[in-house]
Amino acid sequence: MLSPNKDVAVIGCGIAGPAAALFLKRAGWRPVIYEAAQEHDDYAGLFLNVGRNGVHVLEELGLDRMIRNEGFEMRVMQFRNGKDKNLGEVGHMDGKPQGFTVKRGWLQRILREEAARQEIPIVMGAKLTKITTGKDWAEVSFESGLSANVRFVVGCDGIHSALRSRLLPDAPKPSYTGLISFGGYSRGVQLPYIPGVQQMVFGSKAFFGYIVQSSGEIFWFGNEEVPGTPTRKDMLAISQSEWRRRIMDLYRNDASPILDIIANTKGEIGAYPIYDMPPQTSWSKGQAVLIGDAVHATSPNAGQGASMALEDALMLGKCLRDIGDVEGAFDQFQSLRKERVERIIQYSRSLGQRKYATNPVQVFFRDLMMPLFLKSANKDSHSWMYDYRPQWNERLQTDRDVVHHD
Q: Which residues bind ligand FAD (CB under 6 A)?
A: 11-17, 34-37, 45-46, 48-49, 104, 126-128, 156-158, 162, 181, 272, 292-294, 300, 303-307, 309
Is the CB of 162 or the CB of 320 nearer to ligand FAD?
A: 162
Nearer to ligand FAD, 247 or 306 (CB): 306
Q: Please, which residue, 15 or 367, has the CB nearer to ligand FAD?
A: 15
CB of 308 to ligand FAD, least distance (A): 7
* For ligand FAD, the closer CB: 207 or 367: 207
Between 146 and 323, CB nearer to ligand FAD = 146
Give the relative orientation of helices 104-117 and 16-26 as an angle to the nearest 10 degrees.
Answer: 30
Going by C-beta distance under 8 Å and a sequence separation of 6 or more, which residues neighbour residue 168?
280, 282, 285
Q: Given the complex with ligand FAD, which of 128 and 250 has the nearer CB atom? A: 128
CA distance 26 to 62: 13
CB of 105 to ligand FAD, least distance (A): 10
Closest CA to 93 of 75, 72, 77, 74: 75
Tell the smallest beta-carbon distance from residue 341 to ligand FAD (Å).
Answer: 11
What distance in Å separates the CA atoms of residue 243 and residue 226, rounded to the nearest whole number?
14
- DSSP state for residue 238 in the 8-state scheme: S
Burial class of residue 289 (count of CB atoms within 10 Å of its CB; 0-12, 13-18, 19+) = buried
DSSP string, 268-328: EEEEEEEEE----S-SEETTEEE-THHHH---GGGS-HHHHHHHHHHHHHHHHHHSSSHHH
Q: How far is the CB of 251 from ligand FAD (least distance, A)?
A: 18
Q: How far is the CB of 309 from ligand FAD (least distance, A)?
A: 4
Q: Of all residues in this chain, which one has the CB nearest to ligand FAD in the complex? A: 14
Least CB distance to ligand FAD at residue 220 (A): 12
